[in-house]
Amino acid sequence: MNKFRFAFFGALLSLVILTISCGTSRKTGYSTQIPETKTLSILAVNDMHANIDQFPRLAFIADSLRNLYPNLLLVSAGDNQTGNPVNDQFPERGMPMIELMNALHFNLSAMGNHEFDPKPNALAFLLKNADFDFISANIHPKDTINFPIKPYRLVHLPNGLTIGFVSVIEINQRGIPDSHPDNLTGFSFSNPISTANQYLFLKDSCDVLIYLTHYGYENDVKLALQFPQDVVDLIIGGHSHTKIDTEQIHNHILITQAESRLKYATLIQMKILPDGSRTKTAQLLTVGNKGQVNEEIAKMVDKFNDNPRLNTPIAEATDDFSNREEIGFLMVDAMRASSQTEIALLNPGGVRLAYLPKGPVTVKDVYLMDPFGNETILYRLTGHELKSLLTNAFRFDDYGAIIPSGMKTRYHLDQKGQLFDVELFTDEGVPMDLNRLYSVAMNSYMASVYVYEHEDPGASNYTTTAVSMIEFLRKIGKIPSYRDQQRVEIIK
């Protein structure tokens, strides 16, 4: 019978939010009879996004749990990279995360879409230096020597249990993960669900079969529901940044996810009884930024954070920026001014900072807003071509409407929420001439991903949008307030 219980580890953990417990009666094809009850313990994280400041606390939790559960496995459901300039701007991009994950003795990681954000050569370097395996069944590297990404991994525990881990990654409408297409050169990708089903045979080789996915919670549910019953035990998920703190059991499969940026981790425990039946529990643990830490890991993090270049103030914000839209307006205005175009456009997913306080703005702040290293691409587009871009981008991008500078937009949705028209206006609210040519700037991700009608192939200015923004902020000194600005209107 399913039940809920609370558990506390005293000084070990700052908070255990909820424990979900369920029992099943399935018996694996691998072990028809286990002579004694055996326990599997897993500490799972996802979408850490290079938040290295949480590692001393995570390390203390992992160390303490290992004292209780010596066979504890530590796994990540992907997106370890991108989101902290200390990591992203490191001379060997991404190595602070790899070194810290090595120091914490991670056993395994799924490939997330942001694992591809470093250039292919940098990704190969990270994979080579990781002491743990990266897995994904629907990523197919042409060069398997430099990119040793395996579809699955079998882990043999000292207590005699064999644990099978399989991974899949979400792909978008273009059939690739959400990363710059240039970074995906040399890889092909297959359908996540059909690929996942190809590895169900592993149930005959392991006591517990787990899918460690970077697929998003809703997709994990779809995945679970289409599996044959009593084959897969767990789905440990990532990608959607979902905080799962209530029971999520679908088709007898326990699904977990721990939001993002190491706010939480999930402690999963299974007991395999002598008759092959099993119980499963999932505890969402608050990692937090208070409490005891691992001092050695703290010293590593302090050393990485000691970066005078990133901490240099370059401008002053005269007001708080309270949301991504306001920060996006600043970013796209900087792009437009730096490129000296009439219009600049920014995909909302390119804004990675949600709040910027009034006061000094540092180089690090800019890379927190814009961590991707995209270049600025310059175009000459007609009003009709701009409308085609905005229409197709709105349908493609789950984050919402394109953020403009030098123009305003109005989107019309029908009763079902489907887009049927986009209107384009000047900053003064005058309808734009759709037959006229406009000079337009956008980042190289948009230029590579969005499909729309246009004749001009575009040309790079060979400067990243972040570097252009740093130069722009240094030049203006005082950043004006963007409070209450409205450039995009959506009418339903």
- In CATH, what number is assigned to the domain containing residue 236? 3.60.21.10
pLDDT of residue 417: 87
Could you report the average pLDDT of every consecutive run of 10 residues in the chain (492 residues)?
A: 36 43 47 75 99 98 98 99 97 98 99 97 98 99 97 98 99 94 96 99 98 98 98 98 96 98 98 93 93 97 97 98 97 98 97 97 98 96 98 83 98 92 97 98 96 96 96 98 96 91
Q: How far is CA 93 from CA 79, 113, 376, 483, in A?
A: 14, 16, 21, 35
Tokens of 392: 């197709």
Residues 265 and 348 in one domain: no
pLDDT of residue 491: 94
Tokens of 38: 């055996």
pTM: 0.88
Residues 274 and 326 in one domain: no
Residues 8 and 143 in one domain: yes
Please say which residue of 305, 337, 353 terminates a domain. 305
Close Cβ partners of 309 (under 8 Å, ≥ 6 residues apart): 363
Please give the tally of structural domains in the chain: 2
Residues 379 and 280 in one domain: no
3-class SS string, the chain? CCEEECCCCHHHCCCEEEEEEEEECCCCCCCCCCCCCEEEEEEEECCCCCCHHHHHHHHHHHHHHHHHCCCCEEEECCCCCCCCHHHHCCCCCCHHHHHHHHHCCCCEEECCHHHHCCCHHHHHHHHHHCCCEEECCCEEECCCCCCCCECEEEEECCCCCEEEEECCECCCCCCCCCCCHHHHCCEEECCHHHHHHCCHHHHHCCCEEEEECECCHHHHHHHHHHCCCCCCCEEECCCCCCECCCCCEECCEEEECECCCCCEEEEEEEEECCCCCEEEEEEEEECCCCCCCCHHHHHHHHHHHCCCCCCCEEEEECCCECCHHHHHHHHHHHHHHHHCCCEEEECHHHCCCCCECCEEEEHHHHHHHCCCCCEEEEEEEEHHHHHHHHHHHHHHCCCCCCEEECCEEEEEECCCCCEEEEEEECCCCCECCCCCEEEEEEEHHHHHHCCCCCCCCCEEEEEEHHHHHHHHHHHHCEECCCCCCCCEEEEC
pLDDT of residue 31: 52
Domain that holds residue 413: 313-491
- In CATH, what number is assigned to the domain containing residue 474? 3.90.780.10
Residues 278 and 350 in one domain: no
Please say which residue of 305, 331, 347 terminates a domain. 305
